[in-house]
Amino acid sequence: MNPSTALARVLVDELARCGLAEAVVAPGSRSTPLALALAAHPDVRLHVRIDERSAAFLALGLARAQRSPAALVCTSGTAAANFHPAVLEADESGVPLLVLTADRPPELRGTGANQTVDQIGLFGSAVRMFTEVGAPAPVPGMAAYWRSLACRAWAAAGADRPGPVHLNLAFRDPLVPDVEAAPGAPASADRAAHALKSDSEWPETLEGRASGRPWIAQQTRPCEPVPVELPAVERGVVVCGDGDYDPIPYLALAAQTGWPLLAEPTSNARRGEAVSAYRHLLASPRFAAEHDPELVVSVGRPGLSRQLLAYLARAERHVVVGAPRCFADPVRSATDVVPAVAAPSGGAPDTAWAASWQAAERLARAAIDKVLDAEEALSEVRLARDLAAHAPNGSLLFAGSSMPIRDLDAAMGARCGGRIIGNRGVSGIDGTVSTAVGAALAHQQAGGGGAYALLGDLAMLHDQNGLVLGPGEPRPDLAAVVVNNDGGGIFSGLEQAGHPGFERLFGTPHGVSMERVAQMADLPYTRLEWASDLPKALLGEGLRVVEVCTGRADSAALRRTLQQAVDAALED
């Protein structure tokens, strides 16, 4: 067995022993040993994508939904650079990734050799661990090095602070196995295992530990944090920002104290008595002025709306639940950082403060729904509200950045039974289609139901390669619902809207129908106009595109109308 094949097979075998179940490969020559080893392993489901950026976000979606590291493989050169946006998102949002970049061996670097760039520390501080693995050679100690490294990488990616890990692997020629299997040989997976056991060219065995156990058995004992009892105040607020954490303790805290729970959609805490209209309430000057908090308890990463950020800054005391070295405090208002919280003893939920929030929620919710229900034609905000409501229990909803996630935040009612995710780490427009595909694949592999994505037109165009799945590739049951307002709708509600040259610089009209995008990928397409047709449009199997066409100016005006309706309802 040649050294490149040996390194790849041993590394993949050890990662699979650690628990690797999903891997994404962007094809290339230098990464051939890794691609062949992953394709041959019986415990790893392999996905192949022609676009490295789409491949990286596909792996991100797989890892985010399954809450376990996914492997990501590419060849040398600019291929690895195309992974960078997804690595940044994984870093900021705490998603475990194993980034395996193939490289030229050291003797070819800095010589002008083709497709060679400096890949050492390519992703900088965005990774939890980086290792230049070194060119493999048939010398004693290699198997133990590779297997222990795989275990360390796996642990670093999924440790207390999950995130990406980067292994840079130098492969020398030959890049393919020395001898092809003879007729009648075992299947590819069996051949790979057989090769590790029978190879006689190495000075030591390449096999792993007996009984399929990892080289390093890492016992993780869940350490329950000691809750800190909160002060007994009446005017408290619980804020749940983006993040993959258990929302139940914070729902319980709100129920025990009567403090309103303000939950962003991707916190998955907008359930029960959560205040679904908090965005509009905090944007109402009179309400906000009359509801200054004594105490705010926040968890996750709040920051979806300016109103909520401004509210955090006004708290007399702001208790952040998080790790001392890694906690979210976007407006630097934190006064305490604690690992967990406990409700104050002797607190009573039936307070005037609680009643005022509950009354405001009822008024605002009724005002929002009345405006949205006045027109049967689908608006962007109504689409977000209705999609969240119609998604069946057990389903997954991926929310794109910019307006889709904000419309969900503004209009979605409280509900249980579904999971909402999005790329909120750096909130980029890139890779949203691929992330949604990966998340849907992992969600359904684990036995979950259907999946939906709410995306903007620019996000779809930016990552339309994410729709391209080759023959034989695993295909998700995913309805990609695209709001097409012919440009960048978020800017129509910002200060840039009044600038000369706005349409070209910020509106960025493109004139592309999503039907043409669906045709490019040979996918089913539906154009949706009426709200009553939404449930029917969501039916179907496989990957499909649903388009809703809107106007940017009309949507911006509707959002202003919603706020005016809430303000008026609160004045009555």
Could you read off the pLDDT of 298-308 as tens digits, one per residue? 999 998 999 99
pLDDT in tens, 338-352: 999 999 998 789 999
At residue 497, the pLDDT reads 61
Please give the model's pTM, rounded to 2 decimal places: 0.94
CA distances to 142, 245, 253, 268 from 248, rounded to whole Å, are 47, 9, 9, 10
Cβ-Cβ contacts under 8 Å for 366 (sequence gap 6 or more): 569
Of the two residues 398 and 491, the one the predictor is more confident about is 398
* Mean pLDDT to the nearest integer, 409-429: 94
Q: What is the dihedral of CA 46, 47, 49, 55, to 10 degrees?
A: -100
Percent of the chain residues past pLDDT 90, beyond the cut: 84
- Residue with token string 């097409």: 484
The counts of H helices and E strands in the chain are 20, 19
Asked if the model's pLDDT at residue 501 lies above 80, the reply is no
User: Residue 466 pLDDT > 70, yes or no?
Assistant: yes
Q: What is the pLDDT of residues 244-280, one digit of tens each?
A: 999 999 999 999 999 999 999 999 999 999 999 999 9
Task: Note the CATH number of domain 3-209.
Answer: 3.40.50.970
> How does residue 494 score in pLDDT terms, banded at 50, 70 and 90?
low
**Using CA atoms, how far apart are residues 479 and 433, in angstroms rounded to an integer?**
11
The larger pLDDT score, comparing residue 459 to residue 499, is at 459
φ/ψ of residue 8, rounded to 5: -65, -45
Q: Which CATH number applies to 228-360?
A: 3.40.50.1220
67: left (phi over 0), alpha (psi -120 to 50) or beta: left
- If one compares 509 and 463, the residue with the highest pLDDT of the two is 463
Pairing of strands 261-263, 236-240: parallel
pLDDT band at 503, cuts 50/70/90?
A: low
Point out which residues pair with 527 in neighbouring strands.
547
How far apart are alpha carbons 477 and 330 in whole angstroms? 36
* Integer Cα distance of 441 and 58 in angstroms: 9
SS3 130: strand
Tokens of 305: 């709306």
DSSP string, 146-162: HHHHHHHHHHHHTSSS-
What does the block give as tokens for 162? Answer: 């999950």
Q: Give the per-residue pLDDT at 306.
A: 92
pLDDT at 346: 81
Residue pair 301/240 in contact by the 8 Å Cβ criterion: no
Q: Which residue ranges make up each domain of the chain? A: 3-209, 228-360, 376-571
Q: Check residue 265 and give its pLDDT.
A: 97
Q: What is the pLDDT of residue 195?
A: 58
pLDDT of 493: 59
Q: Would you call 395 helix, strand, or coil by DSSP?
A: coil
Nearest to 546 by CA among 477, 459, 452: 452
Q: What would the pLDDT profile of 365-412 be if each residue is shown by its tens digit?
A: 999 999 999 999 999 999 999 999 999 999 999 999 989 999 999 999
Give pLDDT, residue 349.
Answer: 92
Q: Residue 3: what pLDDT?
A: 95
Task: From 9, 7, 1, select the one nearest 44 (Cα to Cα).
Answer: 9
Query: So what's the pLDDT on residue 330?
Result: 94
Residue 197 is predicted with a pLDDT of 64
Mean local confidence (pLDDT), 206-232:
88
Q: Show the tokens assigned to 276.
A: 């679904």
At 549-562, the pLDDT tens digits run 999 889 999 999 99
User: How open is the CA angle 467-468-474, to the nearest 5 degrees?
Assistant: 90
Phi first, then psi, for residue 292 (nearest 5°) are -65, 130
Average pLDDT, the chain: 92
How far is the C-alpha of 32 from the C-alpha of 77, rounded, in Å?
Answer: 14
Instruction: Determine the Cα–Cα distance for residues 193 and 197; give it in Å rounded to an integer.
Output: 7
Residue-wise burial string across 263-278, b where 16 or more C-beta atoms lie within 10 A, e elsewhere: bbbbbbbbbebbbbbb
- Residue 321's H or E segment, with its range, is strand 317-321
Is the pLDDT confidence value at 489 over 70? no
CA 481, chain centre distance (Å): 17
Is pLDDT larger for residue 371 or for residue 502?
A: 371
The 3-state DSSP class for residue 515 equals helix
Q: How many whole angstroms separate alpha carbon 123 and alpha carbon 379?
A: 40
- How much is the pLDDT for 184? 41
Give the residue among 225, 486, 192, 205 at the shortest CA–CA distance from 342: 225
Terminal-residue alpha carbon distance, the chain: 80
Contact of 95 with 433, CB cutoff 8 Å: no
- Which residues have C-beta within 8 Å of that of residue 498, sequence separation ≥ 6? none
Whole-number pLDDT of residue 530 = 97
Q: Is domain 376-571 given the CATH code 3.30.420.40 in the classification? A: no
Both tokens assigned to 419: 């999971």
CA dist., res. 368 & res. 440, Å (int): 31
**Burial status of residue 329 (CB atoms within 10 A of its CB: 0-12, 13-18, 19 or more):** middle
Confidence band of 490 (pLDDT split at 50, 70, 90): low
Q: Which residues of 455-479 are buried (b: 16+ CB within 10 A; e: fewer)?
A: bbbbbbbbbbbbbbbeeeeeebbbb
State the average pLDDT over residues 467-488.
93
The confidence score (pLDDT) of residue 316 equals 92
Query: Do the two domains 3-209 and 228-360 of this chain adopt the same fold?
Result: yes
d(CA 70, CA 58) in angstroms, rounded, equals: 10
C-alpha atoms less than 13 angstroms from C-alpha of 188 in its C-beta half-sphere: 12
Tell me the β-bridge partners of 421.
398
What digits encode the pLDDT tens for the residues 161-212?
999 999 999 999 999 998 654 334 444 444 444 457 655 578 899 999 999 9
